[in-house]
């Protein structure tokens, strides 16, 4: 819902919502925007000509699945379709809010140390203290914050193992990125082909060395191996199988399977999120061997 505040709608956002017959709870849910600014209170002042937009209420999501909890950090398994932090559809369905509820702590205690795109699943680590956030930030800079993804690509990159080092910048659409692009930053992804299905799809093991927005998706697409379900970067949204069945994953075939971070004593803590059943079924439908998941989740990429 979108409308323009007109003369006589009232001086506050709450007045304007009431005049438009909109859901007043949308403000508390973080779904109301005045221009590009997220509204926080009903008594915020609005002016004639302001554009007010209410994003649709998101679908109900399941509670956060906690993988690991320590005094100063927590790891959770993010489902595809759930944003890591508040997005245009609001805040209550974001992973940070679901995790706060699961732990019984205020959202302000949770500091995301990495983020997964909405349609990507897997391990997300939150620091519970400022000191832990600084420790994990240092670990990322020093290469001690390890991340392993598995993905299903529409083609096999060549060579079958190596590093993608193309810099990544902004695309014309500000929500997207591309190799080169505006204000490009150095980017590096280690990769290996773990298996190729009977239909020619490839399962990839991916380890980002840097952490640019959409890095894995952009690098894979630039290498001629866009990820299945990744419409934004040229991946197929649907695949027609030999028998005529059409498979539509409805998500990006990318999963953060394993993260390793240091705890407060400096010991490495491995955090593992199981492969979602939807991705297992997709790979099987594409003619893939189920053993490939474990190969890609655990193979050594350090020497790539």
Instruction: Give CA–CA dist 293/204, Å, rounded.
Output: 9
Q: Which two tokens stand for residue 284?
A: 């099987």
Confidence at residue 213, expressed as pLDDT on a 0 to 100 scale: 95
Whole-prediction pTM value?
0.80
Query: Which fold is adopted by the domain 65-298?
Result: Pseudouridine synthase (3.30.2350)
Q: What DSSP element (H or E) covers 134?
A: helix 130-141
Nearest-angstrom CA–CA distance, 81 and 24: 25
Per-10-residue mean pLDDT of the chain, 304 residues long, equals 76 80 75 82 85 70 84 95 73 84 92 93 97 95 95 97 97 95 96 97 97 97 98 95 84 98 94 96 96 94 70
> Would you say 20 and 3 are in contact if contact means Cβ atoms under 8 Å apart?
yes
Length of the chain: 304
Domain segments of the chain: what residues?
2-54, 65-298
List of long-range contacts for 55-59, beta carbons under 8 Å, 24+ apart: 55/26, 55/31, 55/88, 55/89, 55/90, 56/31, 56/89, 57/23, 57/26, 57/29, 57/31, 57/89, 57/90, 58/89, 58/90, 58/92, 58/93, 59/93
Q: Check residue 245 and give its pLDDT.
A: 78
């Amino acid at each position: 819902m979108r409308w323009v505040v007109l003369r006589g709608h009232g001086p506050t956002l709450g007045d304007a919502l009431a005049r438009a017959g909109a859901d007043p709870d949308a403000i508390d849910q973080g779904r109301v925007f005045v221009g590009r600014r997220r509204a926080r209170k009903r008594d915020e002042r609005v002016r004639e000509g302001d554009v007010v937009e209410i994003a649709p209420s998101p679908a109900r999501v399941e509670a956060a699945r906690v993988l690991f909890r320590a005094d100063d950090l927590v790891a959770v398994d993010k489902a595809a379709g759930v944003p890591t932090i508040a997005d245009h559809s609001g805040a209550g369905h974001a992973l940070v809010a679901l995790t706060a509820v699961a732990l019984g702590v205020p959202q302000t205690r949770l500091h995301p140390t990495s983020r997964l795109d909405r349609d990507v699943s897997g391990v997300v680590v939150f620091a519970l203290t400022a000191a832990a956030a600084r420790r994990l930030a240092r670990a990322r800079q020093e290469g001690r914050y390890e991340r392993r993804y598995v993905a299903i690509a529409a083609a096999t990159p060549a060579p079958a193992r190596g590093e993608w080092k193309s810099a990544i910048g902004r695309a014309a659409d500000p929500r997207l990125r591309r190799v080169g692009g505006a204000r490009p930053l150095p980017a590096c992804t280690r990769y290996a082909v773990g298996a190729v299905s009977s239909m020619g799809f490839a399962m990839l093991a991916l380890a980002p060395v840097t952490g640019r927005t959409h890095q894995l998706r952009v690098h894979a697409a630039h290498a001629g191996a866009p990820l299945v379900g990744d419409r934004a970067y040229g991946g197929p949204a649907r695949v027609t199988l030999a028998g005529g069945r059409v498979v539509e994953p409805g998500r990006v075939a990318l999963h953060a399977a394993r993260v390793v971070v240091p705890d407060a004593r400096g010991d490495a803590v491995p955090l593992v999120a199981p492969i979602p059943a939807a991705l297992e079924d997709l790979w099987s439908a594409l003619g893939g061997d189920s053993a490939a998941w474990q190969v890609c989740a655990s193979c050594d990429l350090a020497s790539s």
